[in-house]
Amino acid sequence: MGEEIRPDRRIFDSRAKLAKALAEAVSRVLSGAIESRGEAFLAVSGGSTPGLFFAELSGMPLDWSKVTVTLIDERLVPASSPRSNAALAMGKLLQGPAAAARFVGLYQEADSAEQAAKLAGEALQELPWPLDAAILGMGTDGHTASFFPDADNLEALLDPDQKAVVLPVHAASAVEPRLTLTLATIVKARFLGLHIEGVEKGAVLDRACNGEDLPIRAVLDQASRPVQIYWAE
């Protein structure tokens, strides 16, 4: 059992206030990146949680033409699927001013998740690494990205020395195969945020911070700078 850690936690009394504050924080990071290196690189998560955040961020007055957006993880389904994280990002985030951003997803049509991961890694290779901002979510089982506790390659996914940018994931709890950025890739982000909502997820995070061996704990331990936690009930 690991030692207790105290990440930087921001607590909001409404999900709308959280979404606005997180969007403003990410906008500042992206603006700073554009100013310092001429471009910015953002990775976002899917699921039901980030909708309000995406809507707020999409309207931020950035030079979106200089922003590249990718995904933390993706189900092995095309963008036409309602379960696609790419579809969520395109429908909720890449709208209004943010429509000018460049989007590079993870899904690749291939015969296997392994081949799709290889193709995705090649597609992402020329992007402006490291990430300026990465926004994670978390499940009630403590998974983040597609680091599911029952993933058959969890050790490789969480390996801090992992060279691959994208790996495939097979886990019964994930339903379909997935592709995910690796822990080693995510934790190099200049701003690493964790966006969670609800009492249950707050309790899971507390367990991880108190030392329980959950996938999210690996992120908290390995991040190059403190994870910025945004939570609302």
For residue 141, give the CATH number of its domain.
3.40.50.1360
The reply to whether 35 falls in a domain is: yes
Instruction: Quick: pLDDT tens for 135-149.
Output: 999 999 999 999 999
Instruction: Quick: pLDDT tens for 168-208.
Output: 999 999 999 999 999 999 999 999 999 999 999 999 999 99
The reply to whether 2 falls in a domain is: no
Task: Kindly state the average pLDDT of the residues 125-154.
Answer: 97
Residue 143's domain comprises 17-197+212-232
195: nearest Cα among 144, 158, 159: 144
The reply to whether 32 falls in a domain is: yes
The reply to whether 72 falls in a domain is: yes
pLDDT at residue 115, as a whole number: 98
pTM: 0.96
The reply to whether 12 falls in a domain is: no
Element (H, E) at 128: none
Dmax (CA) of the chain: 46
The reply to whether 75 falls in a domain is: yes
Q: How far apart are CA 27 and CA 44, in angstroms?
A: 13
Residues in contact with 178: Cβ distance below 8 Å, sequence separation at least 6, in sequence order: 73, 74, 75, 76, 113, 146, 168, 169, 171
- Secondary structure letter of residue 131 according to DSSP: P
Residue 7 scores a pLDDT above 90: no
Tokens 């190099």 locate to: 188
The reply to whether 227 falls in a domain is: yes
The reply to whether 207 falls in a domain is: no
Total domain count, the chain: 1
